[in-house]
Amino acid sequence: MAIYDARRRWSKFYLGLCYLAVVIGLSWLAIILATLLFEGLRNISPAIFTQMTPPPGADGGLLNAITGSLIMTTLGVAIGTPLGMLAGTYMAEYGRYSKLTFFVRFINDILLSAPSIVIGLFVYEVMVVRMGHFSALAGAVSLAVIVVPVVVRTTEDMLLLVPDTLREAARALGLPRSIVIGKVAYRAARAGLVTGVILAIARISGETAPLLFTALNNQFFSTNLFAPMSSLPAVIFQFALSPYKEWQHLAWTGALLITLAVLALSITARVLQTQRRAK
Amino acid sequence: MADNLAVDKIGLERAESRLAKSLAGFKLGDTVFHLLTLAAAWAVLILLGGVIASLVLGSMPAIKAFGLNFLSTEAWNPVTEKFGAMAPVYGTIVTSLIAMAIAVPSAMAIAIFLTELCPFTLRKPIGIAIELLAGIPSIIYGIWGLFVLAPFLQEHVEPGLIATFANVPVLSKLFAGPPYGIGVLTAGIILAVMVLPIVTSISRDVFETVSPVLKEAAYAVGCTTWEVIRSVVIPYTRVGLIGGVMLGLGRALGETMAVTFVIGNAHKIAPSLLAPGTTISATIANEFTEAVGDLYTSALIALGLILFVITFIILAISRYMLMRLHQQEGR
C-alpha cells in the first residue's frame, strides 16, 4: 500500500503546485491592474481631456496625445485593413490550395509576432529618411504594417469557416466568384471580419516602439500629417522616465486610458465572436 | 407578319448582346478582383522582404566598418564611434532566459489547472481573463515595473538575495553589488509577467487537443491525476508545447517597452544579475532618435537586423512545431 500512498502524495504535491501557480499568477496580474486603476484614477480630471501636455512642473492634460493617438490609429487601420482583407481573401477563396497561400500564411504568422521596434526601423528607413523629417504619416504607416498580419489571419480564418455549400449554391445561379465572395462569403463572415479589425485596433492602440522614431512626439496640438505628432504611448514613455511628479501622474493616467480602451475593444471583439457562434 | 418577326429578331439580338456585355463585365470584374487579391497576398511577402532589405541596407556602413567583430565587441562608444553588439545581445538573451525560466513552468501549471483541475463554471472566466491580459500593451507592464516592482525588489528582495548567497561560490557572483532595483533581473521578471498569459493560452489550447479517450484509458489502469498529465498529456502535446514556448521566447526577445523602463541602459556585461544592463530593443528605443552620425545610426540598425534574424528563426521553429501538431491532429 505504501507505494500507492506515495504516488497519491506526489500527485497531490504537483497538483498543489499548479494551484499555487494559478493563485500567484492571477493575483500578480490583478495587482498590476489594481495599481493602474488606483494611480490612474487618482489624478483623472476633466483637464486631462481639455488641456495640452504641460512643460515640466506645470499642470496640464493629454489632449494632444489623445488626438494624435486617435488620428494615427484610424489612419493605420484605414491603410492596413484593405490590404490585409484582400490578401486574406486570396488565401481563403482564390488560392486556397496554392503554394503561395501556404508560404504567405507561414510568413504572415511570423510577421504577427515580429518585434515591433524592427518595423519602426523599417518605416524610418523607407519613409522618414526619404522625406527628411519625422511625420505622423510615417507613424500611421508603421501601425498599418502591424495591422496587416492581424487582419490577414482573421480574414482567412473567418472565410474558411463559411460553408462551401453557400458558395456552391451562389455559383450554381451563375454568379462570378467576385460577386459570390462579396455578396455571400463576406456577408456570412461579417461578424468575424469586424472582430479581426477590432483586434487589430486593440493591438496597435498601445504600440509604442514603432512610433518613437516615425511620428516622434510633439508637445503641441497638431493635426498636420506631415509633421511630428504626439501619441499617448510616446507621452507615457517620456513622462514616466522623467523626474517630475506631475509628468509621472499624467503617465499613469495615460496608461489607464490605453488599458481601458484595449480592454473595451477586446471585450467587444469577444462578444461579437460569441454572438456569431450562438447563431 | 414578316415585319413583326424581323423586329422580334432585332430585339432578341439586342437583348443577347446586352446579356453578353454584362457577362463580359462580370468576367472582367472577377479577373480584376482575383488579381487584386493576388497582389495583396504578394504584398505580404514583399513587406517582409522590404523589412529585411531595408535593415540590411541600413546596416551596411556598420557592417563595412566593423565586420564580424561587431558581434564580439563589448565597447559602445558614440564619441569614438566604436560600436559592438555583444552587451545588448547578451542582455537580450539573459533577460529572455530569466523570463522563460519563470514563465514556462507557471504557464504550464496554470494551463494544467484550466484543462484538468478547474471546475467547469470557473474555466471560462479564468480563460477569458488570461486572454484579455495577453492583449494589454507592454508599456503598461513597463510603467508598473518602473514604479512598483523595481522599488519593491530594491527594498525587500535584492538585499536578501545578496545576503543569502554571499558565501555560495557561483551564486555570490550572480547576486553581487548594490541593489539598484533596476537591472537585468527586474527586466527578466517583468518580461515573465508579460509572456505568462501568452504561453498560458497557447498551452491550454494545446492541452485541449488531447482526446479524452487517452486520458480515460490512463485513469482506468489506475494512474493518478499527475501521472496522467506527466505520461499522457505532456508527451502527447510535446511538439505543440515547444511551439508555444518558442512563440513566447520570440515575444520576449523582441519586447521593447516593458524592458526599456527597468533595465538601466548600461552598455556593459556585468556578471551580476542585479546590475543594470541593456537589450537590443532597449538600446534602439533609447538611442535611435539621439544618434548623431551615419555610423551610429547604422550600428543601431545593425542591432535591429540581429534581433530580427534571431526572432525570425525562433518564430519559424515555433510555427513549424505548431503546424506539425495540427497535422498530427488531422490524422
Q: Please tell me whether residues B113 and B27 are part of one structural domain.
A: no
User: Residue B67 gets which letter from DSSP?
Assistant: T
* A220 vs B189: CA distance, rounded Å: 36
> Which of A22, A114, A262 lies nearest to residue B110, judging by beta carbons?
A22
Contacts of B44 in chain A (CB under 8 A): 87, 104, 107-108, 111, 148-149, 152
Find out whether A138 and A216 touch, Cβ atoms under 8 Å. no
CB atoms within 10 A of CB A45: 11
Domain that holds residue B10: 1-66
The DSSP H or E segment spanning B77 is strand B76-77
Selected residue of A18, A205, A208, A212 to mutate for chain B interface (largest B Cβ count, 10 A): A18
Q: What is the separation, in whole angstroms, between the first and last Cα of chain A?
A: 54
Question: Residues 266..325 of B with a Cβ closer than 8 Å to A: which?
Answer: 281, 284-285, 288-289, 300-301, 304, 307-308, 311-312, 315-316, 319
Q: Is B125 exposed, middle or buried (0-12, 13-18, 19+ CB in 10 A)?
A: exposed
Domain end call among B19, B36, B66: B66
For B7, B8, B9, B11, B181, the CA distances from B3, given in Å and listed in that order, are 6, 9, 10, 12, 101
Q: Is the same domain home to B231 and B277?
A: yes
One digit per residue, the tens of pLDDT, for chain A of length 279 reads 678 888 889 999 999 999 999 898 888 888 988 999 999 998 888 888 888 888 887 888 899 999 999 999 999 999 999 999 999 999 999 988 999 999 999 999 888 888 999 999 999 999 988 888 899 999 999 999 999 999 999 999 999 999 999 999 999 998 888 989 999 999 999 988 998 999 999 999 888 888 988 888 888 888 888 888 999 999 999 999 888 888 999 999 999 999 999 999 999 988 887 776 655
- Residue B174: is it exposed, middle or buried by C-beta count within 10 angstroms (0-12/13-18/19+)? middle
Q: What distance lies between CA B258 and its chain's CA centroid?
A: 13
Q: What is the pTM of this model?
A: 0.89
Question: Cell triple for residue B171?
Answer: 551564486
Residue A208 sits at φ, ψ, to 5 deg, of: -115, -50
Q: How many structural domains does chain B have?
A: 2
Q: Give the up-direction half-sphere exposure of residue A276: CA atoms within 13 A in the CB hemisphere.
A: 18
Q: Are residues B207 and B262 in the same domain?
A: yes
CATH number of the domain encompassing residue B311: 1.10.3720.10
Among B66, B94, B123, identify where a domain stops. B66
One domain, residues B297 and B214 = yes
> B54 and B108 in one domain?
no
> How many whole angstroms separate alpha carbon B299 and alpha carbon A276?
49
- Cα dihedral B126, B127, B132, B136, rounded to 10, equals 90
Asked if residue B128 lies in contact with residue A270, where contact means CB atoms within 8 angstroms, the answer is yes
Mutation target for A interface from B130, B140, B203, B314: give the one with most A CBs within 10 A.
B140
Q: Which helix (H) or strand (E) holds B307?
A: helix B294-330
Read off the pLDDT of residues B155-211 as tens digits, 9 standing for 90 and up: 888 888 888 888 887 788 788 878 888 889 999 999 999 999 989 988 998 998 888
- Assess whether B208 and B226 both reside in one domain: yes
Report the alpha-carbon distance of residue A117 to residue B285 in Å, rounded: 8
Instruction: Judge if B231 and B273 occupy the same domain.
Output: yes
Q: What single-letter DSSP state applies at residue A241?
A: T
Which set of grid coordinates corresponds to residue A236?
A: 507615457
Helix (H, G, I), strand (E, B) or coil at B83: strand
> Do B57 and B76 have their domain in common?
no
In this structure, the answer to whether residues B59 and B176 fall within a common structural domain is no
Tell which of B66, B84, B117 closes a domain.
Answer: B66
Task: Provide the pairing of β-strand B76-77 with B82-83.
Answer: antiparallel
ipTM of the complex: 0.89
Give yes or no: residues B61 and B74 share one domain: no
- One-character DSSP codes across A98-156: SHHHHHHHHHHHHHHTS-HHHHHHHHIIIIIHHHSS--HHHHHHHHHHHHHHHHHHHHH
Which residues on adjacent β-strands are paired with residue B83? Answer: B76
Q: Residues B173, B314: one domain?
A: yes
